[in-house]
Structure 1
Amino acid sequence: MTQFQITLNTELLHQLFIGDSRDAGIAALLETVLNQVLKAQSVEQVGAEKYERNEDRTTLRNGYYERGLTTRVGKLTLHVPRHRDGSFSTELFARYQRSEQALLLSLMEMVIQGVSTRKVANITEELCGTEFSKSTVSELCKSLDPLVQAWNNRPLIKAYPFVLVDAIYVKVREDGRVRSRGVLVATGVNMEGKREILGFAIGDTESEATWGAFFTQLKDRGLSDVDIVTSDQHSGLVNAVRQQFQGVTWQRCQTHFMRNIWDAAPKALRDELKKYVRRIFDAADMPTARTLLKQTYERFQDTAAKAMQILEEGFDDATAVLELPEACRVRTRTTNMVERLNREIRRRENVIGIFPNRDSVIRLLGSVLMEVDEGWGDEKRFIDMRAYAAWKKEKGSRT
């Protein structure tokens, strides 16, 4: 990975830490850093510093042009280098700009359609510095929407033994009313041990039909070799998993399951009960887990009967991962990975509040998911799949 040396002057640092406007200081810092990165990339691609003569030089510089970049801390002015042969290129802002542009478009649509609050209008004016016509919004959408659609419809060519699914709800204005709509998100872990966002969809309700249609779309795109599906216990979701992925093991999210047990227990017993249930989840194997279940039931059957009923009824589904090698259990026994992703979505979505239409939901959240997915692609293995591959091979030889 290329390393860049960034130089900051005293005045800039003073503005950042002591100045009256915190955002202005951050904007000045960001603008300085990005312009120095662009300059360094130009040196790298030319093969020589400015005015330097050497045999490695590939082309000549031809000045620069200014390009504005709107961010949450203000509008930046970037000096993008020009090369004589037009060869300069940078992908530095590609991921960042998609979600920023989607956020901007959603805000602009709210202002144009007259459904935004004064606060949102002020944010839009501050970010953009100008008013936007419908034709401007439409033109900007043309460059962003196809990227999101292409990503969300891309072929899934790898095997994904572990799939985790969850939903988040957003407010959308439809037919003159504000309605709650579910955004269904699926993530997967491939045989390389890396996680990916497989896709998303918007549904009127979190029903079996809605989840079933989403799963059908994923399978049509190539989703295959699924072994474990992890989710909460929403009945429509669970029924769709069993219908669409017959023979696949459903793992009930242990975090959600723990909350269900916790809520049903008397307050005075909750902390002690949590320790007992945690021991069940952390058991080395299923026989040990059943022994611990029996001990827990005997301890709390008289004082927390309702909680014990929930524990007994959900035990098998919540401990399904105990079939897997120990190295694969922690990452697949809960939907915490998707919950963290949902928090990132919510952080961006809270700026909007109420989306003007479904297209703006797809545009913003799709761009955020694309951004996160590309970041995940740069990470190391999420799960060590060597133990899983060996377990599958041994299991296959026995059958």
Structure 2
Amino acid sequence: MDILNKEELRRQIKEGKDISLDGILDDFKALLRETIQTATEVELDEHLGYEKHQKSDNSNYRNGTNKKTLKSKYGDVDVAIPRDREGSFEPQLVKKRETLLNGSEDLILSLYTKGMSVRDIQHHLDDLYGYQLSEQTISNITDTIIEKAKEWQNRPLEPIYPIIFMDATVLKIRVDRVVKNIAAYIMLGVTLEGKKEILGIWIGENETSKYWLSLLNELKNRGVDDVLIFAIDGLNGFNEAIEAVYSKAEIQRCIVHQIRSSLRYVSWKDRKAVAADL
């Protein structure tokens, strides 16, 4: 069945032939296979400097294909990747030794962030898409996003921030195989150019002045030498930590929270007008 040909599809429907979702998926996978193989053949043309069947003085030439099975969120896709005699060809669309298409990585990371365990993800892929990945492969994929998060959390910061806002939000996080509501503290800084920047996100622990002190020392170590104003929302022990690390900074209760708190004493009509301005 060729559902990618509109006229052919119409003809088959008129003749009463069965059009199944499995058949549509098979046609889509065939298109994906053809696209990948065509693209890699063009990549090889660029690498060699001449197209197939053209004459060339290049001592390197085409040398058959390597068959591989790619894992995708549409199921397994068998492809034949062209290769060269010298083995210097490095395809970019589907790299050497790569067997997992990017869409599958995104799917795995999405399932992981929703609280599914590695074993749950493994079974989910098998049940819905008909392919299996080892627990180690899934763990390797999730580890990449963890490394990127650590790199972002420890990146260097500006030496001066005119104002830094600190507030908490509640996130659902898997802890010991159980999803719990955990406080996450978000710090937003405004640079001298007026640009807003998330400086970091910290998962709540034992929120004492000692905890806040370690957090602010982390900022110091990342290059923040001076802060003019900290706008916070009554976090216990935070004032003392700020005075210890950034003694010249002013401390203000978060203005937005103060205004929102006062809105309960304002009429509903006026409250909507003020809230819209915020």
Q: Tell me the TM-score range normalised by the shorter chain.
A: 0.5 to 0.7
If the length of structure 1 is used for normalisation, what is the TM-score? 0.43
Q: Which moved more, 1:92-101 or 1:46-55?
A: 92-101
Write the letter of the residue equivalent to 1:63: T
1:101-128 deviation per Cα after TM superposition (whole angstroms, max 9, x unaligned):
44456634364xxxxxxxx897454345
Query: Which protein is richer in strand relative to its size?
Result: 2
Q: Report the residue type matching 1:156 in the other structure.
A: R
Relative to its length, the structure with more helix (as a share) is 1
Indicate how the Cα distance of structure 1 residues 97 and 121 shifts in structure 2: closer, same or farther if over 3 A, else same: closer
Of structures 1 and 2, the one scoring higher in RCO (CA 8 A, sep 6+) is 1
User: What CA deviation, in whole Å up to 9, does each residue of 1:16-63 have, x standing for no partner?
Assistant: xxx875995997599369626555544444444433445789764642
Alignment partner, residue 118 of structure 2? 109
In the alignment, what sits opposite 1:75? Answer: 75
Is this contact kept in 1: 2:40–2:93, CA < 8 A? no
Structure 2 residue aligned with 1:159: 158
Q: Deviations over 1:47-105 (max 9, x none)?
A: 4443344578976464243342343xx33527473432243143788976654444456
Question: d(CA) in 2 for partners of 1:27 and 1:256?
Answer: 52
User: Where does residue 5 of structure 1 map in the other structure?
Assistant: none
Q: Could you tell me which residue of structure 2 aligns to residue 393 of structure 1?
A: none
The TM-score normalised by the length of structure 2 is 0.56
Structure 1 residues 168-203: Cα deviation after superposition (integer angstroms, max 9, x where no partner): 4114243x8653223445566888998876554433
Q: Give the direction of change, closer, same or farther, for the CA distance of 1:189–1:270 in structure 2 (3 Å limit).
A: closer
Q: 2: distance between equivalents of 1:251 and 1:97?
A: 46
The verdict on how the C-alpha distance between 1:151 and 1:122 changes in structure 2, with shifts beyond 3 A counting, is closer
Q: Aligned partner of 1:126: which letter?
A: D
Q: Is the 8 A contact 1:181 1:204 kept in 2?
A: no
Contact 1:46 1:58 in 2 (8 A): yes
Report the residue type matching 1:50 in the other structure.
K
Partner of 1:265: 266
User: Distance between the aligned counterparts of 1:30 and 1:237, measured in 2?
Assistant: 61
Q: What residue in structure 1 maps to residue 15 of structure 2?
A: none
Contact 1:165 1:187 in 2 (8 A): yes
In structure 1, give the amino acid aligned to 2:150: N
Matches within 5 A, 1:10-159: 10=5, 24=25, 28=29, 31=32, 35=36, 38-53=40-55, 60=62, 62-71=64-73, 74-75=74-75, 77=77, 79=79, 81-84=81-84, 85-90=87-92, 99-103=106-110, 107-109=116-118, 111=120, 123-127=124-128, 129=130, 136-138=134-136, 140-142=138-140, 144-145=142-143, 148-149=146-147, 152-153=150-151, 156-157=155-156, 159=158
CA distance in 1, matches of 2:59, 2:33: 26
2:28 and 2:252 map into 1 onto residues whose CA distance is 46
DSSP-derived class of the 1:152 partner:
helix
The CA distance in 1 between the partners of 2:141 and 2:205, in whole Å, is 27
Paired residue type of 1:203: G
Aligned 8 A contact 1:172 1:178 in 2? yes
Percent of residue pairs identical: 14
| Rounded Cα–Cα distance in structure 1 between residues aligned with 2:240 and 2:70 | 47
Kindly indicate whether the alpha-carbon contact (under 8 Å) linking 1:187 and 1:197 is maintained by their aligned counterparts in 2: yes
The alpha-carbon distance between structure 1 residues 41 and 121, as it changes in their structure 2 partners (threshold 3 A), is: closer
Instruction: Check conservation: 1:207, 1:237, Cα contact below 8 A.
Output: yes
CA gap 1:209/1:95 in 2 versus in 1, 3 angstroms: farther
Q: What is the CA RMSD across the aligned residues, in angstroms?
A: 5.5
May I ask how many residue pairs the two structures share in their alignment? Answer: 253
1:109 alignment partner AA: V
Measure the CA separation in 2 of the matches of 1:268 and 1:200: 36
Measured in 2, the distance between the counterparts of 1:171 and 1:30 equals: 39
Q: What is the CA–CA distance in structure 2 between the aligned matches of 1:260 and 1:196, rounded to whole Å?
A: 26
**Distance (whole Å) between structure 2 residues aligned to residue 177 and residue 148 of structure 1:** 19
In the alignment, the residues of structure 2 paired with residue 159 and residue 211 of structure 1 have an alpha-carbon distance, to the nearest angstrom, of: 20
Kept in 1, the 8 Å contact 2:166–2:233? The answer is no
Q: Deviations over 1:119-176 (max 9, x none)?
A: x8974543453677xxx424642565266336514763453655666544114243x8
Q: Distance in 1 between matches of 2:54 and 2:237?
A: 64
For residues 266 and 172 of structure 1, the distance between their equivalents in structure 2, rounded to whole angstroms, comes to 42
Which position in structure 2 is the counterpart of 1:307?
none
Q: Deviation of residue 223 (structure 1)?
A: 3.5
Q: Distance in 2 between matches of 1:50 and 1:232?
A: 66
Aligned equivalents of 2:208, 2:34: Cα separation in 1: 48
SS at match of 1:88: coil
Larger radius of gyration: 2
Which amino acid in the other structure matches residue 235 of structure 1? Answer: L
Match of 1:203 in 2: 204
Assess if the C-alpha contact under 8 Å between 2:66 and 2:82 holds in 1: yes
